[in-house]
Structure 1
């Protein structure tokens, strides 16, 4: 590969700038495969126009038939390909760079897809906590867009979303139980979903954990509590994948 892949990500005010669980999956993937890349930071209100400008396909089609554009997206100048959606990007990277470490081992494609759906369902209790947390770390233009669109989607003020009191006790235990379900799927003593082999499923989990760490704050009680769950499994996963986080990046002002 002669030219670095252009990786489109969403900035924040958090240390290192990167925060999104979806884009973190690909940040991990690019570093895991040791592929050269450079980040282009895109504020939320600009995502659709940038995607259209570079020829990226929408991530999905809404029920009303309108296209929905989101990040991550990559542009590989070595092949001319522009690929959107983290799962499709992972497939592209494996197919295009077969001599690098594999994200989706042969015969596991369907299982990896199923794991993603099951993981999203199990960890859904994080939503009322992470939505207001993310709003607080976004840069001004993205924050306004994020708050406006998410409040319209959830039909609730983000400032009123986070559970408190007894509701917090119940909701936080549900989130812990969700991660406990995932831990229960994994063999005791194994570091990764596939035992001692890193796969895209692990990057998916780690991306979600990065989301929580950046949103809640590395010194927050919530994040510190999560690191103790299930015998410290998630703290160990983050530590095991630390070498694939890549260099700390900041968005130029």
Structure 2
């Protein structure tokens, strides 16, 4: 590799962590874990679609109206002149292109890791969204903040109502706790072999999980009540988990 890989990411206003997106954190963690040199190019929300079209990165999803949805992360690898979109595809590409680095998706685990991600999204990410969405919006720069609010409120629901203070907020936090307890029970099937999804082996699935938790850490702040509450669930299991991955929180 002669030049660093470019990671396209969305900037936030947290003075310690410019990177905040749970989706791009998956790739950021993965690049750091593999020890691959990379640099970040920051992209505001309204510019993502035009950037992807310029790079030749296809849409990753569809909007509710069926129109193409362009999302980050996207990487550009100047060593191979390759553009790759979507974190799981990026992980596969990095493993294939740089086989002498630690694997993100060990052999014959792609289906299992994908299933874990889907289970985690269902049990934890959906209630976490309610808690995080307003803070995530407020963490953005003005152009991205306007875009984020307008597109997320297209269903007619104001961001302020997702987890308004009081009972609604407390119920959302309880759902996150219940979801993380279920995930913790999945981990327990490893019989103490290690703190990660695959026991003592770090994988892309860990970065998918940690990326979601980083979402809250960055947009709420490390001293916030919600972040401290989540780190205390399961007798501090998730605080220890995040500490074990802290060395890969690279912000280049």
**Bin of the TM-score, shorter chain as denominator length:** over 0.9
Cα displacement (A) at 1:16: 2.2
The answer to whether the Cα contact below 8 Å between 2:131 and 2:169 also exists between their aligned partners in 1 is: no
TM-score after normalising by structure 1:
0.94
Map Cα deviations across residues 173-226 of structure 1 (whole Å, 9 max, x no partner). 111000111111002533101001001111011101100111211110110111
Task: State how 1:227-246 maps to structure 2 within 5 Å.
Answer: 227-246=231-250
Secondary structure at the aligned position of 1:38 is classed as: strand
2:85 paired with 1:81: no
The answer to whether the Cα contact below 8 Å between 1:122 and 1:178 also exists between their aligned partners in 2 is: yes
Task: State how 1:117-128 maps to structure 2 within 5 Å.
Answer: 117-123=118-124, 124-128=126-130
Give, in whole Å, the separation in 2 of the partners of 1:163 and 1:196. Answer: 39
Give, in whole Å, the separation in 1 of the partners of 2:53 and 2:162. Answer: 33
Task: State how 1:136-175 maps to structure 2 within 5 Å.
Answer: 136-153=138-155, 155-175=156-176
2:133 paired with 1:131: yes
2:186 paired with 1:185: yes
Q: 1:62 to 1:157 in 2, by over 3 A?
A: closer
Q: 1:16 to 1:171 in 2, by over 3 A?
A: closer
Give, in whole Å, the separation in 2 of the partners of 1:120 and 1:98. Answer: 29
The answer to whether the Cα contact below 8 Å between 2:117 and 2:208 also exists between their aligned partners in 1 is: yes
Alignment match, 1:203: 207
The answer to whether the Cα contact below 8 Å between 2:17 and 2:218 also exists between their aligned partners in 1 is: no
Give, in whole Å, the separation in 2 of the partners of 1:168 and 1:245. Answer: 29
The answer to whether the Cα contact below 8 Å between 2:105 and 2:204 also exists between their aligned partners in 1 is: yes
Secondary structure at the aligned position of 1:8 is classed as: strand
Give, in whole Å, the separation in 1 of the partners of 2:136 and 2:167. Answer: 23
2:30 paired with 1:26: no
The answer to whether the Cα contact below 8 Å between 2:222 and 2:228 also exists between their aligned partners in 1 is: yes
Map Cα deviations across residues 23-69 of structure 1 (whole Å, 9 max, x no partner). 00000000000001110000000000011011111112346442110
Please give the root-mean-square deviation of Cα atoms over the aligned residues, in Å.
1.3
Unaligned runs of 5+ in 1: none
Secondary structure at the aligned position of 1:103 is classed as: coil
Q: Which runs of 4+ in 1 moved over 3 A?
A: 61-65
Give, in whole Å, the separation in 1 of the partners of 2:141 and 2:175. Answer: 30
Secondary structure at the aligned position of 1:39 is classed as: strand
Secondary structure at the aligned position of 2:8 is classed as: strand
Cα displacement (A) at 1:236: 1.0
Which one is further off, 156-165 or 77-86? Answer: 156-165
TM-score after normalising by structure 2:
0.94
